[in-house]
Structure 1
Amino acid sequence: MWFGAIGCGLIAGVGIAAMNATNTEIVRSAFMPLFLSTPLASAVLAAAGVVRWGAPGSATIFAGGVIYVLGMFVVTVARNVPLNNALAAADRASAAAAAELWATYVRDWTWWNHGRTLASTVACGLFVGALLTR
């Protein structure tokens, strides 16, 4: 039992450190302009769908934009980023506490990440569908 707890703590410690390093680096990378411009473009497309309502593909492009902004961007800001911030602020002095923190973090973060992936995929499909109806 003790060996398992220590092993999980060490793995959790490495996982926590790796995720924190990733989260620190990503905000300084070329990823951020792409990450921030995609929801903006999706919002513009949703607005274009409203302005051109009734035109072929307008409802589809509106839906794609709304799903992307809400399902990817809002979920990221409201769920994943706070989880990342909590992970960065957590005390990892205890191996058992680190293992528990990591298990909770991975479960919750992965759940929301799957939602973001699904929303992004659906939005992409809707955008392609809108293009095909034109």
Structure 2
Amino acid sequence: MMALIPILTLFAALGSGLMAGLFFAFSSFVMAALARLPAEQGIAAMNSINVTILNLSFGLAFFGTAILCLGLGVAGLMRWSDQGSLWLVSGSVLFLVGTIAVTMIFNVPLNDALAVANPASPEGAVVWTRYLAEWLPWNHVRMLTSAGALISFILAYARQAG
């Protein structure tokens, strides 16, 4: 079983990197582009993204990485004296707290509020303004913690292989 840990660590690095890249795109240009649109169009575009992102490839990267992090974090704690264990635990905590928990606690409720907003109404414009102001900073957190998890898993793998 312990021979699987380096392979699982590589998959956790890959998943963390994929998520960091996704969140980087939103932080760097996607949300800025959507913010330039009239509220009605921005809401429609973001709602479309929020629906279409729920697919197999995203699910594997997002939830699959979370499952790997649960296992790797436990393995790191149980075998604390092994090379790379600190990095396994660090990467797991970064991804589970900074990516998964932040998404569920902050980003998803904002997405849900946007989904029920009437894009053509003045209230919809207020929801959109609030959404842009609140969603993006939490996305920055997800980007940074996913990138931190990626780095941690790379360091864990380097210690395991060394």
- Cross-structure match for 1:32: 59
With the length of structure 1 as denominator, give the TM-score of the two structures: 0.85
Runs of 4+ that moved beyond 3 A: none
Paired with 1:31 and 1:131, the residues of 2 have a C-alpha distance of: 24
- 1:66-81 to structure 2, matched below 5 A, reads 66-81=93-108
Q: Percent same amino acid at aligned positions?
A: 39
**Aligned 1:21-60 pairs, distance under 5 A:** 21-60=48-87
Distance 1:78 1:87 in 2: 15
Q: Secondary structure at the match of 2:73?
A: helix
Aligned match of 1:104: 130
Q: Which amino acid aligns with 2:137?
A: W
Unaligned segments of structure 2, at least 5 residues? 1-34
SS of the counterpart of 1:91? coil
Q: Show structure 1 runs of 5+ residues with no match.
A: 1-7
Deviation at 1:99, TM superposition (A): 2.6
Task: Determine whether 1:125 maps to 2:151.
Answer: yes
Q: Which residue in 2 is equivalent to 1:5? A: none
Tell me the distance in 1 between the aligned counterparts of 2:86 and 2:50. 36
Structure 1 residues 47 and 53: CA distance shift in structure 2, 3 A:
same
With normalisation by structure 2, the TM-score equals 0.71
Alpha-carbon RMSD across the aligned residues, in angstroms, is: 1.7
Q: Give the aligned length.
A: 125
